[in-house]
Homo-oligomer: A and B are copies of this chain.
């Protein structure tokens, strides 16, 4: 399995660097003859675009998808689907100073150490911009599942920004949070947060024994995202304090998070992801683009990865029995 490949039955190979020509993704294992609406993919991308809100980074790219292969006359060909998005607004001169001075909390130096060579204009593969390949893949996964699990829904909400516990849609932050983030943006401050993901209508039998339990693959998917620091599902860290007789009240307890023995039960699946404060603060952020909190923009990416994991396991489950 390669470093930039995700999934076992449905697979995505992601490529591209922040200051390179384009980001892109190749989806292999996508069944043939599935109706695909590329406008829906574009729409998903538009959701994660920066610059849409007062409190997000000003980097403003059209992020137009370009389908290179795998789709013909509105249906999948069963061949690998490659979709790219060009990097238009590269503004690399802003990043020149990085060449000599690593930015705090960023990964510029670790990548350079590892591979012996790095794009000194910053970010590279570890840029948040890489996640647009996930969103493209997730939209395709969603369109695949639409046919076989029409009631399946994946929704992300925000549970916490900084120290503020909230419960809102990532598209409708409360006024006080917007204020907080606008101030942060102005002052070179940043905040972390927690997002929760709710999946309803998922087929049962998703997940594989032992090393590809659904919880394990969801965790791997979420922790493959840049600023994440934690994953929990069902009862998670909080329910640790419960006695067994409280935790295991019924076979349908929410504490199970819709997964037992690593396999989806048909109940609602629920997991939460922690994000650290973005690294782009103060001095280091001055000249680059600055997102004071990544959580609202991460929401569509979490959804996308969840769709992808579900689609991967759906295809996998087709060989559980003859």
Contact = CB atoms under 8 A, between A and B. Distances in A.
Contact of A124 (B26, B79, B147): B79
Contacts of A276: 234-235, 239-240, 247, 255
How many copies of this chain are found per oligomer?
4
Given A115-B78, A144-B322, A229 B224 contact: no
A31 B80 CA distance: 25
Interface in A87-129: 102, 104-111, 113-119, 124-126
B260 A107 contact: yes
Contact of A4 (B75, B80, B240, B320): B80
Interface in A268-285: 274-279, 281-282
A2 B28 contact: yes
A45 to B, nearest CB: 17
Nearest to A21: B68
Given A34-B322, A220-B217, A260-B106, A22 B162 contact: no
A213 B205 contact: no
A230 B229 CA distance: 11
Shortest Cβ-Cβ A-B pairs, 6 listed: A107-B261, A32-B115, A78-B115, A190-B244, A230-B232, A33-B116
Interface of A: 1-6, 8-9, 11, 13-17, 20-24, 26, 28-29, 31-34, 66-70, 72, 75-82, 84, 102, 104-111, 113-119, 124-126, 130, 144, 147-148, 160, 162-163, 184, 188-194, 204-205, 208-213, 215-224, 228-237, 239-245, 247-248, 250-251, 255-257, 260-263, 265, 274-279, 281-282, 292, 315-322
15 contacts: A4-B209, A13-B28, A24-B69, A31-B320, A75-B117, A77-B119, A104-B251, A125-B209, A194-B240, A216-B223, A230-B237, A231-B231, A235-B276, A244-B292, A247-B276
